């Protein structure tokens, strides 16, 4: 029985599986297999077609033939690393070669299949690849939201945040910024509100994610 992933087991939807193979029969059979379990599939006869296509920012993976007419799938793997490094790649080949598979995996491929392969093995690999890319998108989305919150802070609120990261108390921050402690409390409250956090620990964790550095005290 063929199994595939859906929203019930953690894979986000919608998603798409790209196939690059210069053999039309392979494109059709592999595309039919994946569509039969509900996957959206886009097929290409060459890397050039794939590069020229418009790709959505949704979970995806690429099934790539190692040997393409006039081109090398392994060489194209390096091209992809420059234009879309996040795409999980599953290699397929009719000419299994241990050295070739090792090279592909070292370059970041998720899996390497020799034809003929078990259909369920391919479906399982696609499920895993889509799940991994979905998790990546989730992290990127979360980071983008955090960045937006941070950018909403005023310059003084960012100063307060950096001093908080350094472990300074409100009174110490007030001395550093030459303002009243009440003013610092107001700025700090705004920082907490805009960053949507309820504790300093959470604030520090978000700041670390964004790469915000603590500001050292100028007072000895």
CA dihedral 120, 85, 49, 96 (to 10 degrees): -50
**Domain presence at residue 1:** no
Q: Which long-range contacts (CB under 8 A, 24 or more apart) does 169-176 make?
A: 172/217, 172/219, 175/219, 176/217, 176/218, 176/219
Q: Kindly report the CATH number assigned to the domain that includes residue 193.
A: 1.10.10.10
163 phi and psi angles, rounded to 5 deg = -70, -35
Residues 6+ apart with CB under 8 A from 217: 163, 166, 168, 172, 176
Considering only 6-15, 137-146, 155-164, which range has the smallest mean pLDDT? Answer: 6-15
Distance, in Å, from the CA atom of 150 to the CA atom of 152, rounded to the nearest integer, reads 5
Please give the residue range of the domain that contains residue 174: 152-210
How many distinct structural domains can be found in the chain? 2
**Domain presence at residue 215:** no
Residues 6+ apart with CB under 8 A from 206: 146, 149, 195, 197
- Confidence class for position 14, pLDDT limits 50, 70, 90: confident
Average pLDDT of 212-217?
86
The predicted pLDDT at position 76 comes to 83
- Peptide bond connecting 144 to the previous residue in cis, omega within 30 degrees of 0: no
Which token pair is 52? 């020229």
**Domain presence at residue 182:** yes
- Confidence class for position 117, pLDDT limits 50, 70, 90: confident
Residue with tokens 């595939």: 4
- Confidence class for position 97, pLDDT limits 50, 70, 90: low
The predicted pLDDT at position 8 comes to 45
CA angle 50, 55, 57 (to 5 degrees): 145
Which token pair is 119? 């259909």
The whole-chain average pLDDT of the chain stands at 86
- Confidence class for position 96, pLDDT limits 50, 70, 90: low
pLDDT tens digits, one per residue of 30-45: 999 999 999 999 999 9
Q: Are residues 89 and 157 in the same domain?
A: no
59 phi and psi angles, rounded to 5 deg = -55, 135
Distance, in Å, from the CA atom of 118 to the CA atom of 1, rounded to the nearest integer, reads 12
**Domain presence at residue 184:** yes
User: Across the strands, what pairs with 112?
Assistant: 91
Q: Are residues 158 and 58 in the same domain?
A: no
Q: Are residues 69 and 130 in the same domain?
A: yes
Considering only 15-29, 82-96, 174-188, which range has the smallest mean pLDDT? Answer: 82-96
Q: Which helix (H) or strand (E) holds 89?
A: strand 89-93
Domain boundary among 112, 142, 172: 142
Average pLDDT of 77-81?
82
The predicted pLDDT at position 203 comes to 94
């Amino acid at each position: 029985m063929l199994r595939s992933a859906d929203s019930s087991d953690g894979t986000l939807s919608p998603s798409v599986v790209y196939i690059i193979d210069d053999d039309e029969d392979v494109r059709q059979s592999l595309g039919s297999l994946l569509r039969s379990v509900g996957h959206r599939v886009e097929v290409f006869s060459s890397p050039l077609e794939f590069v020229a296509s418009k790709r959505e920012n949704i979970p995806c993976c690429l099934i790539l033939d190692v040997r393409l007419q006039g081109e090398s799938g392994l060489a194209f793997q390096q091209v992809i690393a420059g234009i879309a490094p996040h795409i999980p790649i599953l290699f397929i080949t009719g000419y299994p070669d241990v050295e070739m598979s090792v090279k592909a995996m070292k370059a970041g491929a998720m899996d390497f299949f020799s034809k003929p392969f078990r259909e369920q093995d391919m479906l399982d690999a696609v499920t895993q690849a889509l799940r991994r890319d979905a998790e990546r998108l989730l992290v990127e989305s979360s980071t983008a939201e955090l960045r937006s919150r941070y950018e909403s802070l005023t310059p003084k609120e960012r100063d307060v945040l950096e001093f908080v990261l350094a472990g300074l108390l409100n009174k110490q921050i007030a001395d550093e910024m030459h303002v009243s402690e009440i003013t610092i409390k107001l700025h700090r409250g705004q920082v907490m509100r805009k960053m949507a956090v309820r504790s300093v620990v959470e604030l520090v964790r978000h700041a670390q994610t964004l790469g915000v550095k603590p500001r050292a005290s100028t007072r000895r």
